[in-house]
């Protein structure tokens, strides 16, 4: 069963800006989204919950340097990306 990715306008703007700044990882980014939709618990995504001021959000890895923070709504089978960028940007 696939999950539904729900892109907010705010996330779409952030992702567009991120991809303009980092065109070399576009394919990795798209692959991460595809895998997230197919199986958000796949080990290569390194899905983990966040704590502190980001309590309630999760993070997945695009690669060792870049992350996507997201809201994971298991009951509705929805995933809502919140932010994308390097560690300092998303945390």
pLDDT tens, position by position, 20-63:
999 999 999 999 999 999 999 999 999 999 999 999 999 999 99
Question: Total structural domains in the chain?
Answer: 1
Tell me if the pTM is above 0.85.
yes
Asked if residue 44 belongs to a domain, the reply is: yes
CATH number of the domain enclosing 38: 3.30.2310.20
Residue 31: predicted pLDDT: 96
The confidence score (pLDDT) of residue 43 equals: 96
Residue 49 is assigned to a structural domain of this protein:
yes
| pLDDT, position 20 | 97
Residue 84, pLDDT score: 94
In-domain check, residue 90: no
The DSSP string of the chain is -PPEE---HHHHHHHHHHHHH-GGGHHHHHHHHHHHHH-TT-GGG--EE--GGGTT-EEEESSSSEEEEEEEETTTTEEEEEEEEEHHHH-
Least Cα distance to 36 among 12, 11, 62, 13 occurs for 62
> Does any domain span residue 30?
yes
Note whether residue 91 is domain-resident. Answer: no
**Domain limits for position 58:** 4-85
């Amino acid at each position: 069963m696939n999950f539904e990715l729900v892109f907010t306008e705010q996330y779409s703007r952030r992702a567009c800006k991120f991809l303009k700044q980092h065109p070399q990882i576009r394919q990795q980014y798209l692959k991460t989204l595809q895998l997230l939709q197919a199986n958000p618990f796949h080990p290569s995504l390194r899905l983990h919950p966040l704590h502190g001021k980001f309590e309630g959000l999760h993070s997945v890895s695009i690669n060792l340097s870049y992350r996507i923070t997201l809201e994971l709504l298991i009951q509705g089978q929805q995933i809502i990306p919140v932010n994308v960028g390097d560690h300092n940007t998303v945390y």
